[in-house]
Amino acid sequence: MPEQPANRWDQRYDHPRYYYGEEPNAFLAAHLPALPPGTLLCLAEGEGRNAVFAASLGHRVLAVDSSAVGRRKALDLAARRGVTLDYRCADVLVDDWAVDPWVGRAWDAIVLCFAHLEPGDAERMHARAAAALAPGGRLLLNSFSKAQFGRASGGPPRLDWLHDLATLRGQFPGVAWERAVEREVELAEGAGHRGAAMVIEMVGRRG
Ligand SMILES: C[S@@+](CC[C@H](N)C(=O)[O-])C[C@H]1O[C@@H](n2cnc3c(N)ncnc32)[C@H](O)[C@@H]1O
């Protein structure tokens, strides 16, 4: 696919180093290995660190992100790690990722890692993600909470793009939460996420 005109994420990622590093997010590294291998969708996946990790665990992975540079780097990381994944360069609000592209089933797992969008768009994406899960399908979410506002360790500089645990809990109809916490963690994810940060961690299951 020819690369689209550069967006601001392309510009951020257009560097030999990976902006958020090549290793998976620590919350996902802790929780993904507990899932049985299946189909797994990573929304707003960026440079592919989490998709590559999921593929290394035996999941069949589709990543979706609007950054063409992110896609190229994700596929390069996958090749270097000896795993395969599919990666669509697309807008998560427009692309139809409701079912997997291989057999057309709802997803066994969906990952949202720092997938911050403007509030109305985020709410729509979250509702679509909940609806796209198979019965028993798992939802893993890691994001910055509103308490992160003003900190330099990462995240959007807009309060309304940051998340609130109570609001998030209600944005995934049909998903029961096994873990839903806000806490302070020490991030060491490339140059992009570094230092003490306030995050939300959620693990859910579609009923
Ligand atoms: C903070 S980065 C997170 C990247 C990745 N999930 C990670 O944790 O390494 C946010 C990502 O969201 C993507 N993004 C933002 N809005 C998007 C949209 N409407 N459709 C697809 N991707 C989008 C950006 O391209 C960027 O890669």
d(CA 46, CA 64) in angstroms, rounded, equals 8
Of 134, 132, 89, nearest in space to 112 by CA: 132
Q: What is the mean pLDDT of the chain?
A: 96
Token code pair at residue 157: 């500089």
Per-residue pLDDT of 48-99, as tens digits, reads 999 999 999 999 999 999 999 999 999 999 999 999 999 999 999 999 999 9
CA angle 141, 101, 74 (to 5 degrees): 60
Residue pair 185/197 in contact (Cβ under 8 Å)? The answer is yes
Q: What percent of the chain has pLDDT over 70?
A: 97
Q: Ligand 1 center to residue 94 CA distance, Å?
A: 14
Per-residue pLDDT of 103-119, as tens digits, reads 999 999 999 999 999 99
Q: Ligand 1 center to residue 92 CA distance, Å?
A: 9
Q: Ligand 1 center to residue 58 CA distance, Å?
A: 23
CA angle 28, 33, 37 (to 5 degrees): 115
Question: Where are the strands (E) in 78-192, listed by range?
Answer: 86-89, 107-113, 133-144, 175-189
pLDDT, residue 3, reads 45
User: Nearest C-alpha to atom 4 of ligand 1 is from which residue?
Assistant: 46
Per-residue pLDDT of 125-176, as tens digits, reads 999 999 999 999 999 999 999 999 999 999 999 999 999 999 999 999 999 9
Name the pTM for this structure.
Answer: 0.97
Q: What percent of the chain has pLDDT over 90?
A: 97
pLDDT, residue 6, reads 59
Q: Ligand 1 center to residue 118 CA distance, Å?
A: 12
> Of the residues 18, 42, 45, which should be mutated to test ligand 1's pocket, given the most ligand atoms within 8 Å of the CB?
45
> Of the residues 4, 8, 9, which should be mutated to test ligand 1's pocket, given the most ligand atoms within 8 Å of the CB?
9
pLDDT at 203 over 60: yes
Residue 28 pLDDT grade (very low, low, confident, very high; cuts 50, 70, 90): very high
Cβ of 12 less than 6 Å from ligand 1:
no
pLDDT, residue 2, reads 44
Q: Ligand 1 center to residue 46 CA distance, Å?
A: 5
Cβ of 66 less than 6 Å from ligand 1:
yes
The DSSP secondary structure of 43-64, one letter per residue, reads ET-TTSHHHHHHHHTT-EEEEE
